[in-house]
Amino acid sequence: MSFLNHLINGMGLGSVYAIIALGYTMVYGIAKMLNFAHGDIIMVGAYVCFFATSTYGLPPLVGVLLAMLVCTVLGVVIERLAYKPLRQAPSLAVLITAIGMSYFLQNAAQLLWTPNPKIFPQFFATTNPDGTQQTAIPLFDGALNLKYTTIVNVAACVIIMLALTWFTGKTKMGKAMRACSENKAAAQLMGIDVNATISLTFAIGSALAAIAGVLYLSSYQTLVPTTGSMPGIKAFTAAVFGGIGSIPGAFLGGILLGVIEILAGAYISTQLANAIVFAVLIVTLLVRPAGLLGKPVAEKV
Amino acid sequence: MALLSVQDINVYYGAIHAIKGVSFEVEKGEIVTLIGANGAGKSTTLKTISGLLRTKTGSITFQDENIGAVPAHKLIAKGLAQVPEGRAVFLNMTVEENLEMGAFTQPKDKVDDHLQRVYDLFPRLKERQRQIAGTLSGGEQQMLAMGRALMSDPTLMMLDEPSMGLAPILVDQIFDIIKTLHKNGTTILLVEQNAQMALSVADRGYVLETGKIVTSGTGAELLNDESVKKAYLGG
């Protein structure tokens, strides 16, 4: 039963990685760049939600929406100011800029909000009649503990995944996004505004990062300016693991990564959990260089 | 005033001067062809008209409007469509999705009409409407690229080497379709290496050599021109 417990917890954590990985993978798919500042958007979203709810006493839902709004604007502004001027530059220049942007956000957060940890509020809890807080549903006489955060994480992830699949598969803008990711010149000839499409992608990815930030901090409640970097890197790993550029791949990669991390921590070693996660990535890439669901398309000449 | 007027354009790739003072015109209802060898600047000229590249001098006028500084994505709504070099269909999208992208700037209620017309012209595409474009043959991809451009109901359609890499029987088919389009009132600017084919359907032609126009005339004149014969028609 404890295995099942770990498995479920792993899926909960993996869902958060998947939401972040979706942002990574979409931006990579369209802009062909790795936005290493993506993890730090998570941190900004978490701070915005923290201040909205703890300092200003707003309801959690308003806090989340506010975080999404701020992150969306931030993501689009970062793209305009830092990445757009480098559209024609070699990809290494863009990569280094993204790393710089990541440090910039972390340092700006230190200045604005100090490095002192903030304790993120527990949104997903109910109060028992005796006044104690309950954060999980005990099943099978307490043998299985289903945390509220896990339920929310998995539900959010599935909804986001389905919404994105619908958006890219059925809507005109979503299809335009796929067209841009394949061939920007041809997309322009069709009348698609490539710059606007890239902005839209950053907006969606950053809004998702805000959601992920709130969910992540609801499980790991210590909020510091570097909070976003580890989940950011793990989600990047998840995106590559699943096949970067692929939306189902990001989903699968995220879930698997979360499960592996929790199981490795439970059965092998907590200290080695991260090392095992990355080892799995290396082995996967040796066997399937394009990731689990990534398929290199043969181009006709 | 001509439908499309290109005046004295000069295009550079970094330090390389690719197009050197090219000027030509396309009248409404014509088929005009630009022929020339590999690297003569044919595709560069088309990309400059469609806004993917920019000229340093001169002007490009389409329907009395200077389009030299109009962003590439705004031209299709003005009636200027391009079938790019190497087809450039969206390989991971279905045939129908590719066609929908061609109608990206069209009002929603017109898309079905255009789709119907394209399917009438290319029954093969209708058979494969749910198929991923990457699985089509070269000839089918060329048809898809042409169908996609037609989805915008263009006034002027520019085709960049539609015969490239196709078997002779398919080249004949593609040129038949070009003639049909022309009959239906679409003006065509055709870039080709296959000079024989291009000149046989064209009203007028221009010969490009290392970034300059060296000869021009009607299709028939150029077909019989000694220097053109020698350079492009195999004697």
Cβ–Cβ of A301/B76 closer than 8 Å?
Answer: no
| CA–CA gap between residue B129 and residue B146 (Å, rounded) | 15
Residue-range definition of the domain harbouring residue A74: 2-126+139-227
Please judge whether A186 and B104 are an interchain contact, meaning their C-beta atoms are less than 8 angstroms apart.
no
Per the prediction, chain A carries an average pLDDT of 90
SS3 for A121?
coil
Domain annotation covers residue A252: no
Produce one character per residue of A80-89: b if its CB has 16 or more CB atoms within 10 Å, e if not.
eebbeebeee
Are B92 and A192 within 8 A, CB to CB? no
Question: DSSP secondary-structure letter at B77?
Answer: G
Q: 38-67 in B: which are within 8 Å (CB) of A?
A: 50-52
Residue A26: per-residue pLDDT? 92
Average pLDDT over residues B46-50: 94
Is the separation of the CB atoms in A171 and A24 below 8 Å? Answer: no
Q: In this predicted model, which residue has the larger pLDDT, A270 or A159?
A: A159
With a CB cutoff of 8 Å and minimum separation 6, the contacts of B8 are B21, B22, B23, B57, B58, B59
Averaged pLDDT for residues A209-233? 92
Residue A285 lies in a domain: no
The pair of structure tokens assigned to B200 is 């046989």
Name the residue of chain A whose CA is nearest to B88's CA.
A186
Checking if the pLDDT of B119 tops 50, the result is: yes
A13 within domain boundaries? yes
Count the residues in chain A.
301
Task: Establish if A200 belongs to a structural domain.
Answer: yes
Rounded CA separation A161/A100 (Å): 30
The pLDDT-based confidence of A301 (bands split at 50, 70, 90) is very low
User: How far does CA B132 lie from the centroid of its chain?
Assistant: 24
pTM for the full model? Answer: 0.89
> Which pLDDT does position A134 carry in this prediction?
78
Question: Please, what are the domains in chain B?
Answer: 1-79+158-235 (3.40.50.300), 85-153 (no CATH)
Nearest Cα to B157, choosing from B166, B169, B168, B145? B145
CB–CB of A53/A60 below 8 Å? yes
A191 interfacial to chain B (CB closer than 8 Å) = yes
Query: Among partner residues B84, B134, B152, which is closest to A186 by beta-carbon distance?
Result: B84
For residue A189, the model assigns a pLDDT of 94
Nearest-CB residue to A191 (from B84, B92, B104): B104
State mean pLDDT over A181-206: 94
Confirm whether the ipTM is greater than 0.85: yes
| Confidence at residue B157, expressed as pLDDT on a 0 to 100 scale | 95
Going by pLDDT thresholds of 50, 70 and 90, the confidence category of residue A145 is confident
Q: How confident is the model at residue A18 (pLDDT cuts 50, 70, 90)?
A: very high
Residue A153 lies in a domain: yes
Contact (CB<8Å) A189/B134: no
Question: What is the number of alpha carbons within 13 Å of residue A288 lying toward its C-beta?
Answer: 16
Q: What percent of chain B has pLDDT over 70?
A: 99
* Whether pLDDT at A93 is above 60: yes
The DSSP annotation for A56-119 comes to: S---HHHHHHHHHHHHHHHHHHHIIIIIGGGTTS-HHHHHHHHHHHHHHHHHHHHHHH-SS-EE
What's the pLDDT score for residue A291? Answer: 83
Q: What is the structure's pLDDT at B234? A: 67
DSSP B25: E
Contact B104 A176 (CB under 8 A): yes
- Structural domain count, chain A: 1
Selected for mutation to probe chain B from A190, A199, A293 (highest B CB count within 10 Å) is: A190
Residues of B in contact with A298 (CB under 8 A): 134
The pLDDT confidence band at residue A288, using thresholds 50, 70 and 90, is confident
Confidence category of residue A300, pLDDT binned at 50, 70, 90: very low
Identify the three-state secondary structure at position A142: coil
* pLDDT of amino acid A297: 52
Contacts of A182 in chain B (CB under 8 A): 90-93
Q: Identify all chain B residues contacting A175, using CB atoms and an 8 Å cutoff.
A: 93, 97, 100-101
Name the closest residue on chain A to residue B50, using Cα atoms: A189
Distance from CA of A75 to the nearest CA of B (A): 24
**Average pLDDT estimate for A80-99:** 91
- Return the higher-pLDDT residue of A128 and A83: A83
B51: chain A residues, CB-CB within 8 Å: 188
Task: State the DSSP H helix or E strand holding residue B13, giving kind and residue range, or none if neither.
Answer: strand B4-13
Answer whether A186's CB lies under 8 Å from A179's CB.
Answer: yes
Instruction: Give me the residue label for tokens 């304790």.
Output: A119
In a domain, A264, yes or no: no
Residue B128: pLDDT over 80: yes
- Smallest CA–CA separation between A9 and chain B, in Å? 35
pLDDT at residue A299, as a whole number = 45
Rounded Cα distance between A21 and A154, Å, is 14
Give the pLDDT score at B235: 56
Percent of chain A predicted with pLDDT > 90: 64
Mean pLDDT, range A79-87, rounded to an integer: 92
Residue A269 has a CB neighbour count (10 Å cut-off) of 11
DSSP A51: I
* Residue A297 touches chain B, beta carbons under 8 Å: yes
Query: pLDDT digits over A33-82, tens only?
Result: 889 999 999 999 999 999 999 889 899 899 999 999 999 999 999 999 99
What tens digit of pLDDT does each residue of B85-102 get?
889 999 999 999 999 999
Residue A193 in tokens: 């505004």
Position A155 in a domain = yes
Using the Cβ of A135 and the Cβ atoms of chain B, whether some distance falls under 8 Å is answered with no
Digit-coded pLDDT (tens) for A251-264: 999 999 999 999 99
Given a cut of 80, whether residue A132 has pLDDT beyond it is no
